Structure 1
Amino acid sequence: MDKSSIHFRKGCSQSICDDIKEVLEVHNEALNEKYLGMPVNVGSSSNGAYFKYLKDRVWKKIQGWMEQTLTAGGKEVPIKSVAQTILTYSMACFRLPQGLCKHIDGLIRKFWWGRKEGKGTTCWVAWEEMTKPKYLGGLGFHDIDMFDLALLARQAWQVLTEPESLSTQVFSSQFILQTQVF
């Protein structure tokens, strides 16, 4: 615990800070730019500046795949197993801005439908249809914004059903901090 540290936003009251530090048994206050690959000081930026690294990572992967000629099945696998899973860890902890979610959905759609002579091709099926489960006629792609909400709802459910678990205590303090930030 001596190596652990915590950071609170500017508007957080000292009594809340003290209570959280006591519950978590973390007494060092410090601010690092990133921890476990995620931004530490997340604000209410509507353009998703704090999560630009996610957009860049997804784009870098998709850009490499665009150089290859892939079948529909060959595109589905990297989208589901790489592009959409890059976001999962961050989405389980933070509410990503809707603009960022839409932008990443757009990158994935561009890759799926392809390009000819430097221009995008016609999208023959609405993205909402493609995000439906396969048994309902869709392709089972994640709607990034809805998947983010689902992961956060799962965390909230754990807080409600298992209030004494260690991960719940950590999430509870993180949730308190995020609700004050947003």
Structure 2
Amino acid sequence: MLESQSTFPVTAEGPGPVTGTIGGFHGTLSYQTDADNNPQLAFTRDTPGVPEYIPAQSPFHPDTFGREDGINVFWMGQNNFYDPPGVKSDIAKCIAFLSSKRYIVMSLLNAGDEGIGTTSYDQLAQINADLARTYPDNFFDIRKILINNYDPASLQDVQDHINDVPPSSLRNDAEHLNDKGYAVVAQQVAAFIASRSW
């Protein structure tokens, strides 16, 4: 069992067990829960041997993701958009790690209260413009697609469209999409992948 995790690269939602190396040992990192249902990460090395001590917070180096037949979708930066260099650096590091050219960089979304004229809107628009310029063949503007999927019969959705924010009919709250919103995302990402014959 690993102690003092700095992050959980494997969660109950996925991506499932991940192979890689920690402390010079290759094995599989998996998500588990203890008797009290607390999340834990467990590392099982490939070959048996005497127990070894690995210091807490030791880095786990996953095997390269992105097999040639895999497709990677990066939709990150929403929670730290106030740090544009950090967002762009994180995405660049992920892409540099890939062995596949089949990847999508999704645009960041603005919240319902981050419409035209707000500082947040301007920051997010700049990040998205930078990502589109950096990854012209792989950038996917899901934000604009969601905004264009507003309900013209809904006064609130019409106002959201005017404000250039994802429509209320596709959100659970100011920031998070609802099932209908995620269905739009899933359908559009699938269409983007199909258009590339991936």
For normalisation by structure 2, the TM-score amounts to 0.26
| Structure with the larger helix share | 1
| Structure with the larger strand share | 2
For normalisation by structure 1, the TM-score amounts to 0.28
